[in-house]
Chains A and B, each alone.
Chain A
Amino acid sequence: MSGAPARAGAEELEIASRVVDLVTRLAGSAAQAEVTVTRTESALTRFANSTIHQNVAASSVDVRLRVHLAGRTAAGSGDTITADGLHTLVERVLAAARIISPDPAWPGLAPSAPVTATPEWDPATAHAGPDERAALVRAFVDAADGLETAGYCRTGHRVAAFANSAGHSAQGQAAEAAMDGIARTGGADGTARQHVDRLADLDGAGLGWRAAAKARAATRPVELSPGRYPVVLEPAAVADLLKNLAWYGFNGRRYAERQSFAAPGVAQFDRTVTLVDDPLAASGLPFDLEGTPSRPLTLVDAGTTSAVTHDRRSAAELGVASTGHAWAGSATFGPIPRNLRLRPAGMAATAMAATATVPAGATGGTSLGDAIGDPDTAALVSRMERGLLVSDLWYTRVLDPLSLVVTGLTRNGLWLVEDGRVTRAVRDLRFTESYPRALAPGAVLETGRHAVRLPDHVDGVWWEAPSLRLASWNFTGGASG
């Protein structure tokens, strides 16, 4: 493909408009309808034992319709875009809406509002083939220099359009690529991952080299007693904090249900913490599933909680406006920020870099020195008298959503730091920690100066964070229990 079409999503908008017209024709002008049509091309090349063992690509189209008719609401989706297929979908959803129980909390349709033009997207990424992904895997494997490797390289492209019977419409598209892998040696794993807008910006060799260096540094771990330790969390570990804060804290539905710790206007975090949900910074569509325009939303400003995210339903419940966070799962899980950025040190919220930095090279000549992923993290480690350097967190689950107490394990590298230097690898530990408490006023000792954008498991979702040095982290179990 030589370039982006002038009107991304024009065909999808035509389908969406047709469905809205069909609802009006079959149910009358009083019927309220909203339609999102999304075409997705996704591909993922997966490797393990240093060979490509799974290599998949899928095309899909999703026509998602929600109808409110005579006080009742129903929704449905289909992937058949023939005239018959669309007619069947509309009839099915209307039939359901006629007999379902009333929906007194229906928030109404999104009014017409200007939607930001689609951010720049890369056609070469959108239409990348399996050979290009395989070449990046080859580079990762080769750079690991004989260590066993595993991971993936993926590309994705979404074209979407929205229309509703209130006269609002929107369209856009997005492309993204990501690579996430480990290298393994002597029972130790090291990891490196990266989320980008352009496949050409993925550095397979750099990531493979970094994963291998960290794996070598993680060999011969010692067992350490559980307890409270100061920590430096690398960006991958910080991303887990952001994800859980997003799902359980800044989720407007949970907030309305009094199941969230979030208290807007209250200084709940250390003043170094500024969190912005910024879907348009990378691979985001310019509107949500209800057609509400996407925009950056500051959730925490210098330690003070300033907002939670809403779809139209949770917003109506609290008498506020939607923040544009409706998604396919929001009816079940609530509206969730899915593109959270933690501001690095020395950067204003409005000036956060749109492009993530790639982890830099080694900072030390020794194998243990390679435990540190980048100079930025090295600076934080150098100021930790005694504590733990944590690469990654794994299988984190919430014990109580209100206090956001989470248990999980370290993974892909854990090291003891003494007098500002990494002195030995440590066996993985289990932790049980309240995430808001770990980031509370005075608890964040230092924030890194460079943020890294990390992929989630779902297309279009990413987390961007620098490393953090925290005063305390509660490790509750060792590798042997």
Chain B
Amino acid sequence: MSEFDVAEAAVQAALDAGARYADVRVMHRRYESMTARNGDIESLTQDESVGLGVRALVDSSWGFHAVPELSDLAARDAGHRAARTALASGLVPGPPIDLVAVAPTTASWSSPCEVDPLGVSLAAKGDLLVAATSLMTEHGADLTEGLYQIWDTAKWFVSSEGHRIDQRIRECGGGISATSVGDGETQRRSWPSYRGQYGTTGWELVDSLELTAHAARIAEESRALLTAPLCPTGETDLILGGEQLALQIHESVGHAIELDRILGWEAAFAGTSWLDLAQLGSLRYGSELMNITIDPTIPGALGSFGYDDEGSPAVKRDAVRDGRWVGVLAGRDSAAVAGLDHGGSVRADGWARLPMVRMTNVGLEPGPHTLEEIVAATDEGVLMDVNRSWSIDDKRLNFQFGCEIGWEIRNGRRGRMLRNPTYTGIGPLFWRSMDMLSSETVPWGTPNCGKGQPGQVGHTGHPAAPARFRDVRVGVRA
């Protein structure tokens, strides 16, 4: 049986068991990761997983069942069980569920890939990590680490409405980090970010990172940070590097505009959102420089796909336009509840998990400046880059982020290196203070976005560039 045949069997079994709608994702994923530490390969893992997950809607209730087997019998059993689970949900029923329309589609899509990452020899990949970590050790770091990860996912989607979509998405990336241990604290520097940069591309992304070219510098910076002055405490102008701004977007915009959170579906765990649907289209989220898009069509960005896991085609939409909140991340059912006409942002992290609202590529459109111009225009402030810690409240308002490195800015020039830079604020107030934005955009990839119960790990993209924020509280510490 083909994967489509198996999926069709599962959908039919769910319908036969009473479902009024059912869909199935068959997935085959290969995963490879390698880590090096202090010049030696530490681990190499190659995993392979195959299975299917069935989602069934009975009356106003969902059920989901997943199995690691693609036989006709297993598929039918899973379809039946999904419908039975949905029936049990009816013991605590909700309001009627509609799904916004998505035209039945037969389609095939693949992510761009110049160099198959699983085709690159293990020896070459290992040599890269060994060389980079050895260099960092030679340049004074106490602990040096290198990592790459590769996911090669083939999936087949079938729905009772007639969708038949197959996709192959290859993702990869990597990075290096150097840690120096001092008297009572550690300092870490990473390139290009901690645990790396990722995209829906081939090995060409890792090649472009030039890990060994940056190894000596970050090792020396980690050592220098141990004796650098502390980030000052108080309110000042804050310039964020693009990598940190990507994290800021992820946490204080991306999660806040997830419709399932806004509707209370994540209230007990991930939390809700400070956003109120009644203000969609009118709320001022940030300054007029703030233009955030939801765009799963960006070639090579980590949150890109051809179709989401409900069969909705990838479409670029606005989330914030000229500082005004205008869009959400939605699925077919949540969109219907909210009276919207589109989903398109639903994904599962594997065949064994229920598809749910996830970020795709949520990022800032480029601004008119450069980082050099932003620094030159700043009389006094702090420049911070590369995330080290992140914490935000359950409504996505009150945040405190820490970065690996900071620099004093005085009279338009970058000055001393600063250690333990942190900043804190309230999301919309912070975004309204953005007055300069660079055009030097990078589609940063976040491969570790946790959400859902049972937990799922999402892969999201965040185009971002350096930006300046006025009068931000910095230097919070214990």
Contact = CB atoms under 8 A, between A and B. Distances in A.
B122 A430 contact: no
A92 to B, nearest CB: 6
Interface in B141-165: 142-143
Given A44-B453, A74-B44, A92-B46, A405 B477 contact: yes
Nearest to B65: A57
Contacts of B368: none
Interface of A is mostly: strand
B264 A129 contact: no
B91 A134 contact: yes
Nearest to A142: B92
Given A53-B94, A138-B92, A259-B179, A395 B392 contact: yes
B66 A151 contact: no
B86 interface: yes
B126 A101 contact: yes
A430 B45 CA distance: 39
B35 to A, nearest CB: 6
B266 A58 contact: no
B89 A55 contact: yes
A88 B50 CA distance: 14
B415 interface: no
B425 interface: yes
Interface stretch (B3-11, B98-106, B304-312, B393-401): B393-401
A25 interface: no
A331 B265 contact: no
A79 B51 contact: yes
B478 A433 contact: yes
A130 B84 CA distance: 8
A56 B82 CA distance: 8
Interface residues of B, number: 82
A80 B47 CA distance: 11
A99 interface: yes
Interface stretch (A10-18, A176-184, A267-275, A280-288): A176-184
Nearest to A74: B44
B369 interface: no
A399 B402 contact: yes
B53 interface: yes
Contacts of B402: 397, 399, 407
Contacts of B341: none
Interface residues of A, number: 93
B44 A75 contact: yes
B47 A78 contact: yes
Interface string B438-478: 00000000000000011100000000000000000100111
Nearest to B268: A150
B398 A477 contact: yes
B93 interface: yes
Interface in A417-444: 428, 430, 432-434, 437
Interface in B337-371: 352-354, 356
Which residue of A52, A92, A402 has the most chain B CB atoms within 10 A of its CB atom?
A: A52
Interface in B217-252: none
A135 interface: yes
B67 interface: yes
Interface string B24-36: 0000000000110
Contact of B398 (A137, A409, A433): A409
Interface in A125-156: 129-131, 133-135, 137-138, 141, 148, 150-152, 154
B92 A79 contact: no
A54 interface: yes
A394 B91 contact: no
Interface stretch (B180-188, B286-294, B406-414): B180-188
Contacts of A76: 45-48
A451 B137 CA distance: 45
Contacts of A117: none
Given A96-B46, A100-B41, A332-B43, 5 more contacts: A49-B94, A54-B265, A105-B42, A154-B454, A402-B185
27 contacts: A49-B264, A50-B92, A52-B94, A54-B62, A54-B64, A54-B354, A54-B453, A55-B85, A56-B85, A76-B48, A80-B50, A96-B44, A130-B84, A130-B89, A134-B91, A137-B92, A258-B181, A395-B394, A397-B402, A399-B389, A399-B422, A402-B185, A402-B186, A407-B391, A457-B454, A474-B478, A481-B429
